[in-house]
Amino acid sequence: MSRIFSGIQPSGELHIGNYLGAVENWVRLQRQHECLICIVDYHAITQDYDVSALQRRTHEMAIGLLASGIDTDDCILFTQSHVPEHTELAWVFMSVTPLGDLERMTQFKDKSKKQESIRAGLMNYPVLQAADVLLYKADRVPVGEDQVQHLELMREIARKWNARYCDGYFPEPKAQLTRARRIIGLDGSAKMSKSLGNTIGILEEPESIWKLLRPAVTDPARIRRSDPGDPDKCNIYSLHKYFGSEDQTAEVASNCRSAGWGCIDCKKVLSEAISVHFRPVRERAADLRANPARVREILGAGAAKARSIAGETIREVREHMGLREGSASW
């Protein structure tokens, strides 16, 4: 049986990009494979963040994941910083990772442009990510398209470590993509991203979904209500595809092309569809919010299970690298 690992940063709310690009897939895969889902708070500190909000965001992320259908009878859900072996293995992998490979990562280049002084943590993000996955010898990583390049580097790191210390020890994990590889944000151009503020959270109340959708960018060539639109150039249409049936999506496209609907009409239909889709998720989240001790208990039990696997890997890694306690022969 293959083992799956994936992570999500508690750097903001769980949004529909995360949900369609990753979380929905995790929920499906947890019944078919051994599965570990990690709230990666060590990754979240590689950018500026609000220290006083991190714990709350981690807790909220756990609520969002559990409410989305992550079931801890089927998978291990935990917080990265509760398992310190992640950072130990990251240090080990830094000793085999070429600096040039890290410098050419697209995500590093994009994010470092926005920072006055570039921190080493941001550049080493993919090394910690390799440690996250390989600590559990996971061979599949369900992610969005933005992470595919990091997965390639992860395989390279596994190959380099294996070649130097123990042939075949770490698997070479493969990315597993969904049909929603890259959800575009409400600005209609950039990837929907917590840090860009172009998101719709999955736990958003119906009025708030509408407030966010109302000003969202549509087909830029459609200026007046009477102009026919091109659904293929409209991000709102691309979102309809994930929340409506085939017939409904065809109706949206036809009303756009004929100018039968204005963009506001089209957004109202989408707003309603998103709101209905996530209603049960919002309800489950409200129950979980009312019981914070239960959420902490779930994360505590998850960390204990993860540590038992991680501890074994680190013990073997130390041994293969000549770091084993009591192995001194001098």
| The one among 4, 5, 9, 274 contacting ligand AQP by CB under 6 A | 9
Nearest to 88 by CA among 326, 316, 301, 329: 316
The first and second tokens of residue 153, run together, are 């580097």
Query: 61: buried, middle or exposed (CB in 10 Å: 19+, 13-18, 0-12)?
Result: buried
The first and second tokens of residue 157, run together, are 């790191």
Segment interacting with ligand AQP, rule: CB under 6 A, options 188-196, 229-237, 253-261, 317-325: 188-196
| The one among 17, 126, 173, 229 contacting ligand AQP by CB under 6 A | 17
Nearest to 189 by CA among 235, 242, 229: 235
Rounded least distance, CB 316 to ligand AQP, Å: 28
Cβ count near 16 (within 10 Å): 25
Q: Which is nearer to ligand AQP, 198 or 222 (CB)?
A: 198
Rounded least distance, CB 260 to ligand AQP, Å: 30
Segment interacting with ligand AQP, rule: CB under 6 A, options 11-19, 78-86, 92-100, 205-213: 11-19
Q: Report DSSP letters for 4-70, one per residue.
A: EEEEE--SS--BHHHIIIIIHHHHHHTTTSEEEEEE-HHHHTTS---HHHHHHHHHHHHHHHHHHT-
Q: Do 122 and 108 form a contact (C-beta atoms < 8 A)?
A: yes
Segment interacting with ligand AQP, rule: CB under 6 A, options 157-165, 185-193, 245-253, 306-314: 185-193
Rounded least distance, CB 20 to ligand AQP, Å: 6
Binders of ligand AQP among 18-37, rule CB under 6 A? 18, 21-22
Segment interacting with ligand AQP, rule: CB under 6 A, options 186-194, 226-234, 248-256, 309-317: 186-194
Angstrom distance (rounded) from CA 16 to CA 274: 9
Element (H, E) at 304: helix 292-320
| The one among 35, 39, 135, 143 contacting ligand AQP by CB under 6 A | 143
Rounded least distance, CB 192 to ligand AQP, Å: 4
Binders of ligand AQP among 193-222, rule CB under 6 A? 193-195
Q: Give the contacts of 156 (CB within 8 A, at least 6 positions apart).
A: 101
**Which residues contribute to the site for ligand AQP (CB under 6 A)?**
7-9, 11, 17-18, 21-22, 143-144, 146-147, 180, 182-183, 191-195
